[in-house]
Amino acid sequence: MLQIIDKEEKDKLAKCYVDGTEFHEGQKIYPNDAPCKACLCSKDFNNSTFVDNKDCAEFKCDLELRNEDKIKKGCVPVYIRGLRCCPDEWKCPEAEDKIIKGETREAADVSDPQLTCKYGDKVLNIGDGITDSNKCLTCKCLLPPMVQCTRTYEC
């Protein structure tokens, strides 16, 4: 609920400073150095650490709830490398996508479904990647069961 207060009341509120920005008591903070944390400015706010901070909590993306239609199509989330906890976009299977074989594994490992990722109708082993025309996008099977994609803006 939005509550409007006058300048005098606002000046009485505790202030928090994160990433060079001033926040007032009750405002949400999304620190640059902790992209998966959401904090709440309070009288006792400690901005020296966002780990084990009583005013900060792990940010939940709710991927399954918000993107069920994409997941059913075999799409995978695309994360911005080093900047965000939650994906900004999705990569969906395309006919021209091909599997790039990664490091070879023992035959026993390859047959273990717990060591594979699904991408549309394709099955990838740990270390395998997906080709993409966009050179800034990297998609690999790193941690089953989903392929993980990251985008960089340096390329």
Structure tokens at 139: 């998609």
Query: pTM of whole model > 0.85?
Result: no
The beta strand positions in the chain, using DSSP E, are 15-18, 21-24, 28-29, 37-40, 56-58, 76-80, 89-91, 99-100, 116-119, 122-125, 129-130, 137-143, 146-151
Query: Which of the four pLDDT bands, split at 50, 70 and 90, describes residue 154?
Result: low
C-beta atoms surrounding 133 within 10 Å: 8
Q: How many helices (H) and strands (E) does the chain have?
A: 4, 13
Residue 107 in this model has a pLDDT that exceeds 50: no
Q: What is the pLDDT of residue 143?
A: 87
Residue 144 in this model has a pLDDT that exceeds 80: yes
Q: What is the pLDDT of residue 155?
A: 61
Residue with more model confidence, 33 or 40 = 40
Question: Average pLDDT in the 117-134 region?
Answer: 88
Share of the chain above pLDDT 70, in %: 86
Structural domain boundaries in the chain: 7-58, 70-151
